[in-house]
Amino acid sequence: MPQTTTFVFDSSLSANPCFLMGSMSHMITLHGLTASSTRCSYAFNDSNSRFKALAVPTRVASVFAKVKSKSSTSSESNNSAIDFSDPDWKTKFKDDFEDRFRLPHVTDIFPDAVSMPSTFSPNMRNPTTSDFPGNYPLDEDWHGYINDNDRVLLKFSVIFKNSAIFKNSAIAIADTAAIVILRLHQTIYYSSPTSAGAECIDPGCNWVEQWVHRAGPREKIYFHPEEVKAAIVTCGGLCPGLNDVIRQIVITLEIYGVTKIVGIPFGYRGFSDKELTEVPLSRKVVQNIHLSGGSLLGVSRGGPGVSEIVDNLKERGINMLFVLGGNGTHAGANAIHNECCKRRLKVSVIGVPKTIDNDILLMDKTFGFDTAVEEAQRAINSAYIEAHSAYHGIGIVKLMGRDSGFIAMHATLASGQIDICLIPEVPFNLHGPRGVLSYLKYLIETKGSAVVCVAERAGQNLLQKTNATDNSGNTVFRDIGVYTQQETKKYFKEIGVHADVKYIDPTYMIRACRANASDGILCTVLGQNAVHGAFAGFSGITVGSCNTHYAYFPIPEVISHPKLVDPNSRMWHRCLTSTGQPDFI
């Protein structure tokens, strides 16, 4: 019997099945598909059954229409979504990509919306009177705005992996999961599909450019500053840099000439809880808030439904909403944008991705991540000192990562003090001859001490499942750090070898920190660009750094699933080289 894998995506999936189907390293055809307006679930069959679509949302359907319906064998092309015999496949691919990344704009709903010259001057000097050396360009030639046709290169593709290694992955749904998708971005020219980390769209590994919209101030704006009431809301968990972003949004809004700026307290809850009043914001209020961690406005999980939020926006006269948060918050922001469109409200909803876990797709990194990795060094160093100073000392540090192991991997790389790094993307056994505990015994015998870094989501398959969820509906995991500590103690007792095991969980110490310099700069750029995006008339978008430049993305494209560490990436291989750890399977 062929093995079946089911993928479940939410409505934000847009055209991803094109890629999902298109980049299989071995041939798999779709044998069943069900879809509703909010969720689609796809079942794949390893055999040669033909593609049968039962029901598909419009945008998805248009993509599937391009999929060649044919039986498949492993000798055929490894990409069934594109007809490579079509001489125009590259152009079609790029057009489809351009379409997917088109930014929703107020003129979609209000075609007659009139623009006006921007009230924001990118160059605070007067070009005609400045002392710019040499040939200072004329004002009309050099104004420093972003042209709407400017693009940032995002080379992006999909690869399929054998998912024995991904049993715990948030996106491999079925227990018998055989396949999982990774989407990565890169700007490397791979001369061969066998090059390390190669992401090829076609069998020949052709270079296919994919562009996204450049972020920044536009020459024309679609909101009169005196008619704007802007609101900022911070949702989800804390993350270093929230105050930095709030500050930059306020400062930039004021530069455009906005005077009505408010903060919504305690996340989306602030839109429904009558006891919570909006916080007036100005440059004066936010001037020094970046000097401390947390959020000036407070955060929360859960809260009112989208309809109630939009009712409240209308009541308060808010027509620009800046939403700082992770994937859940962005799903909410996108739903608010859609609801505003449905009700024909001229509101710009702009997201700023806040995820300390760095698990938002397509972005180089999200703010807070850098600070988290830096702060994690303290915990790792303490664990190392404790372990090193004890007779047969073992230090265990648990680091954050609801879905992915980026913080653990990067903190391990940065510290150079970790012997074993365990992340959710790479399965491991604790017990058994090739398990973590046997290797710890070896380390104790050979080195005298050892330090383990374990990501929050790692090894959940070893623990009893919990049905608990937080107020936002996120699964609450069992504590893999505590479990590892307990099992380690038990194991060494059983084998009669002394071991002094110490466990550190620095999660909330890290999250509450103020942003470091690198995150401070990132927050500044993101906050400013969020405001430029709103004045440019975009809505339902978010902003991120992409190949070191800054870009706007339609929200659904970055939250369709969490970004994961690729176990075949150079970075994970570097991490393994650094720790020297073997496979634990």
Ligand X SMILES: O=P(O)(O)OC[C@H]1O[C@](O)(CO)[C@@H](O)[C@@H]1O
Ligand Y SMILES: Nc1ncnc2c1ncn2[C@@H]1O[C@H](COP(=O)(O)OP(=O)(O)OP(=O)(O)O)[C@@H](O)[C@H]1O
Residue 329 interacts with ligand Y (CB under 6 A)?
Answer: yes
332 binds, among ligand Y, ligand X, Mg ion, none (CB under 5 to 8 A by kind): ligand Y
State which of residues 104, 293, 328, 540 lies at the interface with ligand Y (CB under 6 A). 328
Residue 303, Cβ neighbours under 10 Å: how many? 20
| Active-site annotation holder among 244, 357, 359, 419 | 357
Is there a contact between 455 and 408 (Cβ–Cβ < 8 Å)? yes
Provide the Cα torsion 20, 24, 30, 31; round to 10°.
Answer: -140
401 binds, among Mg ion, ligand Y, ligand X, none (CB under 5 to 8 A by kind): ligand X
Distance CA 202, CA 89 (A): 10
Distance of CA 373 to the CA centre of its chain: 16
325 binds, among ligand Y, Mg ion, ligand X, none (CB under 5 to 8 A by kind): ligand Y
Residue 151 β-bridge partners = 213
- In the complex, the smallest distance separating the C-beta of residue 97 from Mg ion, rounded to whole angstroms, is 26
What does residue 291 show for φ and ψ, rounded to 5 degrees?
-75, -10
Ramachandran region, residue 147 (left: φ > 0; alpha: ψ -120 to 50; beta: rest): beta
Half-sphere exposure of 521 (CA within 13 A, CB side): 8
Is there a contact between 480 and 338 (Cβ–Cβ < 8 Å)? no
Considering only residues 61-100, where is the footprint of Mg ion by CB under 5 A?
none
Is 135 annotated in some ligand binding site?
A: no
Contact partners, residue 68, CB within 8 Å, separation at least 6: 80, 83
Residue 236 interacts with ligand Y (CB under 6 A)?
Answer: yes
State which of residues 168, 210, 234, 327 lies at the interface with Mg ion (CB under 5 A). 327
- Within the chain, what is the greatest distance between any pair of CA atoms? 82
For residue 48 the two structure tokens come to 């040669």
Three-state DSSP class for residue 399: strand
Element (H, E) at 322: strand 320-325
Distance CA 585, CA 582 (A): 9
Is 326 annotated in some ligand binding site?
A: yes
Task: Please name the residue that has the structure tokens 């265990």.
Answer: 396
Considering only residues 467-486, where is the footprint of ligand Y by CB under 6 A?
472, 474
Residue 316, Cβ neighbours under 10 Å: how many? 15
- In the complex, the smallest distance separating the C-beta of residue 512 from Mg ion, rounded to whole angstroms, is 18
Q: Which residues bind ligand X (CB under 6 A)?
A: 236-237, 239, 356-357, 400-402, 456, 470, 511
456 binds, among ligand Y, ligand X, Mg ion, none (CB under 5 to 8 A by kind): ligand X
State which of residues 327, 417, 507, 579 lies at the interface with ligand Y (CB under 6 A). 327
Distance CA 280, CA 420 (A): 48
Is 568 annotated in some ligand binding site?
A: no
Residue 331 interacts with ligand Y (CB under 6 A)?
Answer: yes
Is 363 annotated in some ligand binding site?
A: no
- In the complex, the smallest distance separating the C-beta of residue 356 from ligand X, rounded to whole angstroms, is 5
State which of residues 270, 326, 459, 554 lies at the interface with ligand Y (CB under 6 A). 326
Task: State the pairing for strand pair 4-10/500-504.
Answer: unpaired
Is there a contact between 172 and 183 (Cβ–Cβ < 8 Å)? no
427 binds, among ligand Y, ligand X, Mg ion, none (CB under 5 to 8 A by kind): none
DSSP sequence for 480-537: HHHHHHHHHHHHHHHTT---EEEEE--HHHHHTSPP-HHHHHHHHHHHHHHHHHHHTT
Half-sphere exposure of 287 (CA within 13 A, CB side): 3
- In the complex, the smallest distance separating the C-beta of residue 122 from ligand Y, rounded to whole angstroms, is 31
Contact partners, residue 445, CB within 8 Å, separation at least 6: none
Residue 301 interacts with ligand Y (CB under 6 A)?
Answer: yes
Task: Please name the residue that has the structure tokens 């802007």.
Answer: 230
Residue 234 interacts with Mg ion (CB under 5 A)?
Answer: no
Binding piece for ligand Y, criterion CB under 6 A, among 139-147, 162-170, 285-293, 322-330: 322-330
Binding piece for ligand Y, criterion CB under 6 A, among 126-134, 214-222, 232-240, 366-374: 232-240
Distance CA 242, CA 142 (A): 33
Binding piece for Mg ion, criterion CB under 5 A, among 326-334, 437-445, 512-520, 540-548: 326-334
- In the complex, the smallest distance separating the C-beta of residue 112 from ligand X, rounded to whole angstroms, is 42
Q: Would you say 318 or 411 has its CB closer to ligand X?
A: 411
Is 328 annotated in some ligand binding site?
A: yes
Considering only residues 350-369, where is the footprint of ligand Y by CB under 6 A?
355
Q: Would you say 162 or 469 has its CB closer to ligand X?
A: 469
- In the complex, the smallest distance separating the C-beta of residue 402 from ligand X, rounded to whole angstroms, is 4
State which of residues 328, 332, 427, 533 lies at the interface with Mg ion (CB under 5 A). 328
Per-residue string for binding with ligand Y, 27-66, x by CB under 6 A?
A: ----------------------------------------
- Catalytic residue status for 357: yes
Is 400 annotated in some ligand binding site?
A: yes
Sign of CA dihedral 460, 463, 465, 470: negative
Distance CA 417, CA 422 (A): 14
Alpha helices in 343-415 (DSSP H): 369-389, 406-415
State which of residues 217, 240, 263, 325 lies at the interface with ligand Y (CB under 6 A). 325
CB-count exposure of residue 479 (10 Å: 0-12, 13-18, 19+) = middle
Residue 272 interacts with ligand Y (CB under 6 A)?
Answer: no
- In the complex, the smallest distance separating the C-beta of residue 301 from Mg ion, rounded to whole angstroms, is 9
Q: Would you say 198 or 512 has its CB closer to Mg ion?
A: 512
CA-only gyration radius of the chain, Å:
25
Residue 5 interacts with ligand Y (CB under 6 A)?
Answer: no
Binding piece for ligand Y, criterion CB under 6 A, among 216-224, 298-306, 420-428, 502-510: 298-306
Distance CA 326, CA 314 (A): 24
Binding-site positions for ATP: 237, 301-302, 326-329
Q: Which residues of the chain form contacts with ligand Y (CB under 6 A)?
A: 235-237, 267-268, 301-303, 325-329, 331-332, 335, 355, 472, 474
Binding-site positions for Mg(2+): 327
Binding-site positions for substrate: 355-357, 400-402, 456, 508-511
Binding-site positions: 237, 301-302, 326-329, 355-357, 400-402, 456, 508-511
Q: Which residues of the chain form contacts with Mg ion (CB under 5 A)?
A: 326-328
Q: List, by residue number, the catalytic residues.
A: 357
